Amino acid sequence: MFHKILIANRGEIALRIIRACKELGIKTVAVYSTADSNSLHVKLADESVCIGPPSSLQSYLNINAIISAAELTDAEAIHPGYGFLAENAAFAEICENCGITFIGPSSESMRLMGDKISARQAMIKEKVPILPGTEDAVQDVNEAIKIAKKIGFPVIIKASAGGGGRGMKIVHSPAALPNAFATARAEAQAGFGNPEVYIEKYCQQPRHVEIQILGDKHGNVIHLGERDCSIQRRHQKLIEESPCSVLTPQLRAEMGDAAVRAAKSVNYNSAGTIEFLLDSDDKFYFMEMNTRIQVEHPVTEMVTGIDIIREQIRSAAGLKLRYKQSDVKIRGHAIECRINAEDPFKFTPCPGKITSYHTPGGLGVRVDSFVYDQYTVLPYYDSLISKLIVHADTREDAIRRMLRALDEYIIEGIKTTIPFHKRILSNKDFIEGHLDTGFLERMVLE
Ligand code: MV4
C-alpha cells in the first residue's frame, strides 16, 4: 500500500480523499492555490504545497507544479479527484513516466474511452447496446445526409472529443443538416482541437442512468448498481439517486453486465462510470464512460456500504478487489442534492462570505462539504459548496428525510440552491418518480 498520496484537487473531493487516506493509514499532501491557503483541505492534510496563483490554469491544472510537488514531498501516487486533470490522459501518462502512480485508469484506457468514436467501436465489438448511428467519423455532408435518412430523424451530431453534453447538435430535418454538420465540425475543432463528429439516432426525453464500476489490476471488474441522474440543467446534474425507481432486478443485472463488459473491453482497472440512456420502453443504450470518480459517488456508497474511494486507492496500489459481484447488495434508497453557491432560480454564481452556517444531522444524513462559518466562497472555481446525501429504507422516506435535512441546513451571507431543491423534492412528478432529462425544463414552464 502507498505511504503517501498527493491530492491534485481542492474543495469537498479533496477532503473526501484525505478522509479515505487517513482511514487507510496513508499520509497526505495537499496542493493549493494562493487563494486557497485557508482551505480545509490544506489544514487536514499532513503536508501542503502552494502550486500557483488563483487561476486554475496556473494552479490546479499546472502539471509541472503538481509533479514537482509530488517529487518534493516523495508522494508515491496522485489522486486527481474529479474535474481539473482527472480525465487528462497526457497527465496520467506523465505520472506513469515519472514513476508516480496515477490513481485512476491507465492513460491508454482513458484515451480509448475519451475518444467517443473509439468508445462506440469498442461497444459494438462487445455487443453493448448503442443507438443506431455511425461506426466511424462522418467526413462530409453527403455522407451525413445518407446516414441520417437511413436511421431517421431526429438525429444528434456529437464531437468525438466531446462528452458530458459538450459539442452536440440535435437535428430534426434533412434541411437543417448541412448547417448543423458544418457548425458541429467547426465547434469541435475550436473546442477540442479535433473536428471529428459522429451521428446517432436522437432519443427523446430519456432517463440518464449510469452504472458505477470498480476494477482492479488483476482483471476483475464488478458493478455497484446504478444512479438515476435525470435531474439536470444544461448538463449540470443537480439531484442524483440510487436505485433508479424503474429498474427491475433483471434490468439492473442486464445493465450491470453490459457496463462490466464495456469496462473490461478497455482493460479498465479503477473506479469508473458507464453512462446509459434509458428510453420509455426500458431499452438502454451506452452513451459514454467517465474514467474518474464522480461527484455523485456517495449515493452508491450509501446503498452498497462500499467506500468507493478506498477501493479505488487499493486497486491503484495493485491490491485485488475485496468484493465479488455477489457480495454487492443494494439496501434502501439514497438521494444527493448538490448545494451550489448560486442564485437558486437563475443559477448565476454567487460567491462571497458565509456569515452563518449550520449543517443538518441525524440518522441517515451525510454532508460532504469543505465550507465553514465565515468561509469566503471564491469566484475562481466551481460553485459546488456542499453535497447533502440522505439514506433511508424507501424512496418516499428518503425524500422526506431530504426535505427535513434541507430545512435544517442554514447557510447565510450567500445565495444557495437549497430553496430550489425544496421545490423539486415537493414536486408531484418527482415524488411519483416520473423523471427524465426534460424534467427541469418542463418544471420551469409550469
Ligand atoms: C444523447 C441524448 C439523446 N440521444 N444521445 C448528453 C450528455 C452526454 N453524456 C450524452 N447526452 C445525451 N446524448 C442521443 N443519441 C441525450 C443526451 C442527454 C441530454 C440531451 C439534451 C439535454 C439534456 C440531456 C441530458 C442528458 C443526456
> Model confidence over 118-155: pLDDT tens digits?
999 999 999 999 999 999 999 999 999 999 999 999 99
Per-residue pLDDT at 444:
65
Question: Which among 153, 169, 277 is the best mutation to test ligand 1's pocket, defined by most ligand atoms within 8 Å of the CB?
Answer: 277
Q: Ligand 1 — pocket residues by CB below 6 A?
A: 131, 156, 164-165, 200-203, 206, 208, 232, 235, 275, 277, 287-288, 437
Phi and psi, residue 150, nearest 5° = -70, -45
Per-residue pLDDT at 289:
98
- Kindly report the CATH number that applies to the domain delimited by 132-201: 3.30.1490.20
228-249 residue pLDDT tens: 999 999 999 999 999 999 999 9
Residue from 271, 240, 275 nearest 81 by CA:
271
Query: What is the mean pLDDT of the segment spanning 407-430?
Result: 98
Q: How many CB atoms within 10 Å of residue 3?
A: 11
Does 180 score more than 90 pLDDT? yes
Helical spans, DSSP H, in 294-376? 297-304, 308-316
Per-residue pLDDT at 263:
98
Q: Kindly report the protein residue whose alpha carbon is nearest to atom 9 of ligand 1.
A: 164
Q: Kindly report the protein residue whose alpha carbon is nearest to atom 6 of ligand 1.
A: 165
Q: Which amino acid is at 147?
A: I
Rounded to the nearest integer, the mean pLDDT of the chain is 97
Measured in Å, residue 444 CA sits from the centre of ligand 1 at 19
Q: Alpha carbon of 443 to those of 213, 223, 341, 426: distances in Å?
A: 32, 33, 21, 12
Q: How many CB atoms within 10 Å of residue 207?
A: 23
**Residue 422 · residue 361 · CB < 8 Å:** no
- For 302-344, list the strands marked E by DSSP: 333-340
Per-residue pLDDT at 165:
81
Per-residue pLDDT at 445:
52
Same topology between domain 132-201 and domain 207-442? no
Torsion angle of the four alpha carbons 10, 11, 17, 19, in this order, in degrees rounded to the nearest 10: 130
Q: How confident is the model at residue 51 (pLDDT cuts 50, 70, 90)?
A: very high
275-313 residue pLDDT tens: 999 999 999 999 999 999 999 999 999 999 999 999 999
Q: Alpha carbon of 108 to those of 69, 90, 160, 251, 424: distances in Å?
A: 25, 10, 16, 30, 40
- Report the topology of domain 4-103: Rossmann fold (3.40.50)
Superfamily of domain 207-442: ATP-grasp fold, B domain (3.30.470.20)
The grid coordinates of residue 149 equal 435518412
Measured in Å, residue 343 CA sits from the centre of ligand 1 at 25
pTM for the model? 0.97
The helix/strand/coil state of 392 is: strand
How far the first Cα of the chain sits from its last, in Å, is 54
Measured in Å, residue 165 CA sits from the centre of ligand 1 at 6
Q: Kindly report the protein residue whose alpha carbon is nearest to atom 5 of ligand 1.
A: 202
DSSP string, 116-169: HHHHHHHHHHHT----SB-SS---SHHHHHHHHHHH-SSEEEEEEEEETTEEEE
Q: How confident is the model at residue 446 (pLDDT cuts 50, 70, 90)?
A: low
**Residue 257 · residue 276 · CB < 8 Å:** no
Q: Which helix (H) or strand (E) holds 20?
A: helix 11-24
Q: Kindly report the protein residue whose alpha carbon is nearest to atom 19 of ligand 1.
A: 437
The grid coordinates of residue 284 equal 438502454
Could you give the residue numbers annotated as active site? 292
CA pseudo-torsion sign 24, 27, 29, 30: positive
Boundaries of every domain in the chain? 4-103, 132-201, 207-442
Question: Which among 151, 155, 157, 208 is the best mutation to test ligand 1's pocket, defined by most ligand atoms within 8 Å of the CB?
Answer: 208
